[in-house]
Structure 1
């Protein structure tokens, strides 16, 4: 997989454009994540098949319940141990319109965090042939529809700096972030987004960065992972994405191996970054609901 080869939304046509529309509708956010863009460019048939397998998992009331529980688990656990109050605009070197834009983009990241957490858990289990849905939830919510109002009318399309366009005043911060989240392509999306507002990024990293290596945060992150694992254990949908499933769907073995290598390389830093998304959102007073 060529990580520099991505199919961007404005370039997608035909069924790929439709699939991108479906991802945004299903994820309730105006963004198509990097993992989808890279896979769409390198292995479009694999993405089309894989999306058909995972999509139903995100469309249930049970997933809605999980999504707010995931957010609440992280925010309650962190704020019980650390001071992460929302910043006032007067504390940052940004104007009112800039702050509204920052908050809107962090709302988007707050929305996608639980979705990415489940997506990565599903892919990890399926590609390594571990069970999914082996303790199926038998409640009505397990297969009932996702509440249409939840996370609607939140979030803005993402803008971000280029990997090589780091503001000079943030070089030290970016260096620390790369050590904490070692993405092979440089920076994760969340950091490329908030780097557009250097005063927010520096202050937020000064508050969040030291937390990430503490035992208290480790316990909170483990609890959030347990919430995700319990949801994936209980999904009533059998996600068929093992290497054999992919080859039976007509995906050649080389493409399957390339996707597995891509996912293995991306998974660890992504999993470390995803739980921080609700924390950054909280600092901009951009958090969503924490219960239904």
Structure 2
């Protein structure tokens, strides 16, 4: 699978453009994440089928509860040891316009964090025929629609620096980020977005790296995963993404094996520490969403 191959939103046409529109509407965020862009570029028929299988998991009131509790779980565990630093515009070497854009883009990442965590866990399990919905939620919220107010009117479309255009000011920061997450090369989208503003990323990373390496963040990663796995266990239905179902839909065995590897890597590899960090970064500029249902 060529993970450098992507279908960008601007190039998507026909049903692929419609699928991207549906992903953004369902995720309630102005972004089509890398996992979708590279999967559709390599195996478009798989993503068209898989999206129909997993989409309902993000449309219920029960998911709304999970999205809020995910954020609170992470931020509570982190701040329990050390307060998360926050920055006003005049404390950073960026303009007011840049600060506003930074806040809007970090709000988008805050929105997608629990959605990506659920997507990776759900698809990873489903592709390997591992149990899903073993303890189905019997309450009304399990099947009731996601209220319109959840994550409404938040976020701006993220922009990013190219892989080979990291600003010179980040020469020390990029290796530190890669080392923390256990990345051999490259940077996840969040850091390519933040690299647009070295005047924010440099002081933020200096302040946050010790916090991210603390027991508090380790606890946050574990507790966030627990919340996600419990949600997937509570689903009232089981997506049909096992090898037999995919073969019946025209996906061959080599493709299935590549997809299994991709989603297992995202669910249990280095990205496991990237996704919980997203609400932490949003908090540094007061762009995180609600932590309570009240």
> TM-score category by the smaller chain?
over 0.9
Contact 1:184 1:266 in 2 (8 A): no
Paired position in structure 2 for 1:167: 167
Once structures 1 and 2 are overlaid, which stretch shifts more, 189-198 or 258-267?
A: 258-267
Deviations along 1:161-190, one digit per CA (max 9) or x if unpaired, are 111111111011000111122446610011
Once structures 1 and 2 are overlaid, which stretch shifts more, 235-244 or 269-278?
A: 235-244
- Following the alignment from structure 2 to structure 1, what is the Cα–Cα distance between the partners of residues 270 and 259? 17
Paired position in structure 1 for 2:278: 277
Is 2:196 the partner of 1:196?
Answer: yes
Deviations along 1:109-133, one digit per CA (max 9) or x if unpaired, are 0000000010111022112322111
Contiguous gaps of at least 5 residues in structure 2: none
- Following the alignment from structure 1 to structure 2, what is the Cα–Cα distance between the partners of residues 55 and 265? 21
Mapping 1:56-95, distance limit 5 Å: 56-95=56-95
Local SS of the residue matching 1:138: coil
- Following the alignment from structure 1 to structure 2, what is the Cα–Cα distance between the partners of residues 183 and 31? 23
Once structures 1 and 2 are overlaid, which stretch shifts more, 161-170 or 274-283?
A: 161-170
Q: CA deviation at 1:284?
A: 1.0
Mapping 1:203-242, distance limit 5 Å: 203-242=203-242
Contact 1:56 1:237 in 2 (8 A): no
Paired position in structure 2 for 1:27: 27
Deviations along 1:65-120, one digit per CA (max 9) or x if unpaired, are 00000001111111121121321111100111110000000000000000001011
Contact 2:85 2:207 in 1 (8 A): no
Mapping 1:44-193, distance limit 5 Å: 44-183=44-183, 186-193=186-193
Contiguous gaps of at least 5 residues in structure 1: none
Contact 2:142 2:235 in 1 (8 A): yes
Q: How many residues align?
A: 292
